[in-house]
Structure 1
Amino acid sequence: MKAEKITWKYLIFYFASLVFFYELFMVLPSTWIEILTANLSSGALNLLGLNSEYGITGTWVWMTLTGGARDVKVYIIRECTAFHVWGILLGLIMPLQVTDWGRKLKAVVFGGVLVFLMNLTRIMLTVYLTGYDVPPFSWWFTNPTVETYHYPVSFAYGVIGIAIVISLINAYILPELGDFLVELPDALVYNIRNVFNKG
């Protein structure tokens, strides 16, 4: 779809859908995925020969990693599960002007599963780097906390990871997604210029 053919009404609909799905996934109950995330992350660390546990205290889901240079305990909240990213994927994919709902559904499921698996490795890496002194990081951070690694690791996964997910969806399932996202900036500029030119 060419930028000139993307109307301002469709742009409003697209962004409204994106906001709707994102906000929906910010209010849907998330305890189940917090528990699943802690369970699978802890289990994977144990499979790698490390010592990890998870549990629930009140409404808080937690996991630990012990036996390294320092013991680590983290709380798994909604934002730690990438649950809200599912909302973003739905918001990017569902309002596309593609009539093949089967491919849309495949793209959402594939993207959601891939984001979930990548998020598990993000949590495991963050906890591991915090609990164990791993060069070259240990040369700079002598007594790291979870926050030491949480933000840079999360940023890298968020930017690079989502780019990979979108690229794979575009390449193998729904090329219309990439086509639209490439044209989106030009469509915004084109429609904004039209508004000012008419004024």
Structure 2
Amino acid sequence: MAKLFFRYAAMNAGKSTALLQVAHNYEERGHAVRIFTAGVDDRYGRGMVTSRLGPQRVAEVFTPESDFRALLGATPAIACVLVDEAQFLTKDQVWALHEIAHIRHVPVICYGLRTDFQGELFPGSASLLALADEMDEMKTICDCGRKATMNMRVDATGRKQTEGAQVEIGGNSRYRAVCGRCFRGA
């Protein structure tokens, strides 16, 4: 039985690395996959799934207007759909991916952040938390050594930012994965 999976974590937990490994495992056994990433995330080039460890590959881009039912409608037998940066999915897109898993019997594995720099759910993450058949928290650590569960936005001097747009694309120079205690400044 195919399922909708949500694998979430704070930044730097290896989500993109895990996605690339899953794609490799399917393809090494002769199975086709479709890989999608958010068009808004252009840190490594638009349409690239990139691990901070170095491996990367081209992926199809989704935007808020993308219709996964149409995109996957004419696809000959695919074994799995993989979605990176899933926090940028819309509610309707998550429902479409749920349908693809349950009606078309194609596993869908989504990787993304759970919350933003203010501790608020992203719309895509909220819908995935509601609809995913299985959820897995991937782990990373805070500078203090505790499990990191939050994403803290920082300015050029490393000070925590508490205001601003929910989406501001950036890497290690703009965000840190931190534990709840460090997020609160304790």
- Which has the higher relative contact order, 1 or 2, with Cα contacts under 8 A spaced 6 or more apart? 2
**Category of TM-score, reference length = shorter chain:** under 0.3
Structure 2 length normalisation: TM-score? 0.24
Structure 1 length normalisation: TM-score? 0.23
Instruction: Choose between structure 1 and 2: higher strand proportion.
Output: 2
